[in-house]
Amino acid sequence: MNATRPAPGSQASLREANRERVLGVVRQHGPLTQVEIAAASGLSAATVSNMVKELDQAGLVGLSRSIRNGRRAVLVSLASGGGLLAGVAFGERDVRVAIASESREILAQQLMPLQADHVADDGMERAARLLADLAETVGAGVEDIGAIGFGLPAPVDSVSGQAGSDAVLPGWRGVNVAEAMAGHLRAPVVLDNTANLAALGELRAGALRGVQHGCYLKFSYGVGAGIVLGGEVFRGSAGTAGEIGHLTIDENGPICRCGNRGCLDTFVGSRALLSSLAASHGPLRLRDIITRALAGDLGCRRVIEDAGRRVGVAVAGLVNLFNPEVIVVGGKMAEAGDLIMIPLREALDRCAIPSAAATVELRPAELGDEADVLGAIELASVLSHARAAKPAETTV
């Protein structure tokens, strides 16, 4: 029969809201004591105790003994969704895969290079093989993977479930990745943009912890952003929020691969940076520019500083639009440290509304190259527990 919900304002409705609040806090912050849940949720200790008992009896949370501040404690965590968790994060030229326990602890991971123009079938087949190999290294099989978080450095349409575009990762254009990948491994898959996943990773375990309104800037071969609003990653109406690389900063500028003129990517993407140094330095890779700049090469330093200033102008627009508390800078270009951060900050201060610029903190990422795969595992955990909770819904 159809599930029914308590009438709004009733005691049953309040109890259900409290249950969801407790679950939401544990889902966001991971295993916590009841005292910590009460502090994070605003509920009384007695209410939290009652809710935890109910959730434990319903099989929605698990209790485990631990040590907090030198004292014995009981941790409340989300109940097992069944099986291991997997994260897959594609870059433009590589793929990182990881296997994690149900508590999101990474058990094994591997990075493998890919051709820049690889197609979806090859990429998914490679990822599936890597996950099978990793599962074997932890004494399991692919059948033990309960859910997979999957990331691509391309627009992801949350309505159609398709990824890629004619210009960005065209080899993935029109592919329903979640459906196709689930066919490879027979496990549920959730798909997202890697900038969003990196933002989620930093939000849960890195430089965005505790931030309500912030942004993760992924500055690598291209530039993208993961936006955090209200303590959650904001994806927009169709999943494509954060495409800062395709903001127009010069309408008479170079033609971008997306078809427009003067997008940020045409000035700060790896192709533009490498092209600007070709005459003076010959063929280089992006990592070469960063290494030489840190070693004092004046030309490479100038290119990186110029890129930082241009990105700072674009970031100032974000600061004016949604007034974030924190902007975290990650990706390959973040390895340049102050060479990128100082000109970025100067441009932000110059171009943003003074009151907004004064209240935003610029931070380096904490999780490095692992941010997006950690975010993928977090997304897999949410999917796994959502599926586990479905049988517990009340029916009459």
pLDDT tens-digit readout, 108-156: 999 999 887 788 888 999 999 999 999 888 888 888 899 999 999 988 8
Say if strands 223-229 and 232-234 run parallel, antiparallel, or are unpaired.
Answer: antiparallel
Judge whether residue 15 has pLDDT over 80. yes
pLDDT tens-digit readout, 44-70: 999 999 999 888 877 677 787 777 777
Judge whether residue 2 has pLDDT over 60. no
Domain spans of the chain, in order of start: 11-79, 84-198+372-389, 209-365
Highest mean pLDDT: which range of 83-97, 152-166, 285-299: 285-299
Q: CATH topology for 11-79?
A: Arc Repressor Mutant, subunit A (1.10.10)
pTM: 0.79
What's the rounded Cα separation, in Å, for the pair 87 and 109? 9
Provide the residue type at 338 as one letter: D
Judge whether residue 5 has pLDDT over 50. no
Cα-to-chain-centroid distance, residue 303: 28
| pLDDT given at position 138 | 83
How wide is the angle at C-alpha 285 spanned by C-alphas 348 and 91, nearest 5°?
70
Lowest mean pLDDT among 8-22, 178-192, 353-367: 8-22
The CATH label, of 3.40.50.720, 3.30.420.40, 3.50.40.10, 1.10.510.10, for the domain at 209-365 is: 3.30.420.40
| pLDDT given at position 217 | 98
Say if strands 71-78 and 61-68 run parallel, antiparallel, or are unpaired.
Answer: antiparallel
Q: What CA–CA distances, in Å, run from 260 to 208, 252, 253, 257, 266?
A: 32, 10, 9, 7, 10
Query: Under a CB-based contact definition with an 8 Å cutoff, are residues 290 and 333 in contact?
Result: yes
Q: Evaluate whether 84-198+372-389 and 209-365 have a shared fold.
A: yes
pLDDT tens-digit readout, 261-304: 999 999 999 999 999 999 999 999 999 999 999 999 999 999 99
**CATH superfamily of this structure's domain 84-198+372-389:** ATPase, nucleotide binding domain (3.30.420.40)
